[in-house]
Copies of this chain bind each other. A is one copy, B any other.
Amino acid sequence: MKQCQSLITPVILCGGSGTRLWPLSRATFPKQFLQLEGEKSLFQQTLQRVHDNPLYDAPLVLTNQEHRFYVGEQARQIDVPLDTILLEPCSRNTAPAIGAAIAYNNSRKPDNLIHVLPSDHLIQDDEPYRAAILEAAQTARAGYLTTFGITPTYPATGYGYIKAGPKLEKAGHKVERFIEKPDEATAKTMVDEGGYFWNSGMFLLSPESFMQELGKFEPEMSSAILKAVKLAESDLDFVRLDEATFSMAPDISVDYAVFEKTERAALIPAPISWSDIGSWQSLWQSKGGDDAGNVVYGAATLNAADNNIVVSDGQHIALNGVSNLAVIATDDALLVSSLEQSEDIKKIVASLKESEATSPLTQEHKTVYRPWGGYTSILKGERFQVKKLFVKSGAQLSLQKHHHRAEHWVVVSGTAEVTIDDEVKILSENQSVYIPLGSVHRLKNPGKIQLEVVEVQSGSYLGEDDIVRFQDDFGR
């Protein structure tokens, strides 16, 4: 049942660099999209929290070009309708992103409050959580920019802290000050002293106050994002902020741009079960594990092994006589890390990025999802490569041609409609077709079940960018 008061627009931040849960997360596939063995992704769990709560209006998701199809696809999987997928044309940190989302929302639903939610945090949707939201909504309605503070359970050095000031009339506290990620000694002092909270990165905002404060402290940014929203263009399911104006906004965080300066910051101490899943260790902690403390996704055999997290997307993993490890296997990369030091995998990712040979390992997976389905790279030679394509029922790839490669398609499951220049033919399981270099072609699944095609490419250059598109259902 909807409440009589104004609703809350969830603004879900869905960017992310994909280094913390490497090798499962990649630049093109950050951790909020990970679906471990049929579990819902953190992004989907975030959507569900706001969908199952009558306080909320339909969500607005902020993401980028690279991730836009995952956003739509994962929302569809769990039947949560989105208000809008708002595309950042370039990366500009949280202040311009949140500002643009609020400006966009104000142009359509100016009475709604704004709940800014990271898409990659794990939160238990329980009574304390819901009570904190209600309190935060009260302070936001009173014109405050409200943050949620998590009671620290240990002297973490990976989070920013907030010091609570005097109590507010209805709920929460004024913020006394924000503290950036501290060193261990400072963190310990704060935890021992009390009155300090972890900055959860969640905010419940009065949109009017936010835009006023942004205009006051960052007039250039405010003007840039207002223009970027005004000039935004609809593109299929997406609204794309104007690049020329959005890119003028300074690249700074919302904490720095607004919260550390404003007098209107409020804090709701939130006794909620929260994790930012910032490392394999924190994922392991959030899962519990079996009697021996092992968390296992995928096929594994364990002998004398305890307190490990094991993830495999195919290979059989055997652990023998080991403890406190993250063992994460993907098609092309394998991580073996001590859980305690799992935050340091950012060093590994940084080092992989430095070399041309290993940089792709940080960028994308062998299986890549596309709005029509996707493909898995299964073999690469010098002048050939083999992929398995999977095409959803009713979907089709773009009408395209390649300058440097010919392709063989063998249908191994389902039915394909293949266009080659002026000819259209239907292929069923075990039939094949040859696409000569330079011919204009298209693959479509006219059937009711998923189409699977083994593609053998042959040519002197086999990059994904050798593609000339003539028509595309997905505006690419």
Contact = CB atoms under 8 A, between A and B. Distances in A.
A408 B455 CA distance: 12
A434 interface: yes
A93 interface: no
Nearest to A453: B456
A358 B320 contact: no
A316 B315 CA distance: 14
A47 interface: no
B301 A321 contact: no
Interface stretch (A32-40, A176-184, A198-206, A331-339): A331-339
Contacts of A430: 406, 458-459
Q: Chain copies in the assembly?
A: 2
Contacts of A314: 332
Nearest to A385: B412
Given A315-B329, A319-B337, A454 B412 contact: no
A384 B410 CA distance: 10
Per DSSP, chain A at the interface is: strand
Contact of A322 (B330, B336, B412, B432): B336
Nearest to A352: B301
Interface string A348-389: 100110000010010000000000000000110111101010
A318 interface: yes
A445 interface: no
A458 B453 CA distance: 12
Contact of A335 (B312, B318, B332): B318
A473 interface: no
Contact of A410 (B317, B408, B459): B408
Interface in A295-349: 299, 301, 303-304, 312, 314-322, 325, 327, 329-338, 340-342, 344-345, 347-348
Interface of A: 23, 299, 301, 303-304, 312, 314-322, 325, 327, 329-338, 340-342, 344-345, 347-348, 351-352, 358, 361, 378-379, 381-384, 386, 388, 406, 408, 410, 412-413, 429-430, 432, 434, 452, 454, 456, 458-459
